[in-house]
Structure 1
């Protein structure tokens, strides 16, 4: 694990990773889930040098409880997440698009 993590964050990572594996996730996916959760919590607490807007402003992974995990319906990705994907794909006019417009432009609706 990253040397910046505290012992408590390390324990949290192991706990989340083990829980994901018990739910049937692969070892690689379980590691990813654990690391993303710990890193997002660190970003929200201001412990990271750089943090994305969607990491800092969004609810914590524990509070969210998987509400948006892979769903395409109304509980899907946030507007900021859609915007970041549109930015990566170089979609023109993305800054003035609504969440629905971004989803359509990305082919999600």
Structure 2
């Protein structure tokens, strides 16, 4: 998949990115910055354009050691 290709994202993810982008533009960000922030946010929330449903790993998968 070429860099910047959004075809693997779900319709819901695309709508979320569009909504975030519009909000960022209202805050005075440039179109490029707003788009970058929107997709970074969607990726952080859902793990990118992954349709398998894995998304983010729950905290219980992380290994924590306490001493």
Q: Give the gaps of 5 or more residues in structure 2.
A: 60-67
2:17 pairs with 1:13: yes
Partner residue, 1:22:
26
Query: Deviation of residue 46 (structure 1)?
Result: 2.3
**Greater than 6 Å deviation, 4+ residue runs:** none
Q: Give the gaps of 5 or more residues in structure 1.
A: 48-54, 59-109
Query: Deviation of residue 3 (structure 1)?
Result: 1.0
> Given the two structures, how large is their TM-score scaled by the length of structure 2?
0.63
Q: Deviations over 1:27-54 (max 9, x none)?
A: 110000000001111229624xxxxxxx
Cα distance change, pair 2–29 in 1 and its aligned pair in 2 (3 A): same
Greater share of helix:
1
Q: Pairwise CA RMSD of aligned residues?
A: 2.5
Distance 2:58 2:25 in 1: 28
- Larger RCO of the pair (alpha carbons < 8 Å, separation 6+): 2
Larger Cα-atom Rg = 1
Partner residue, 2:37:
33
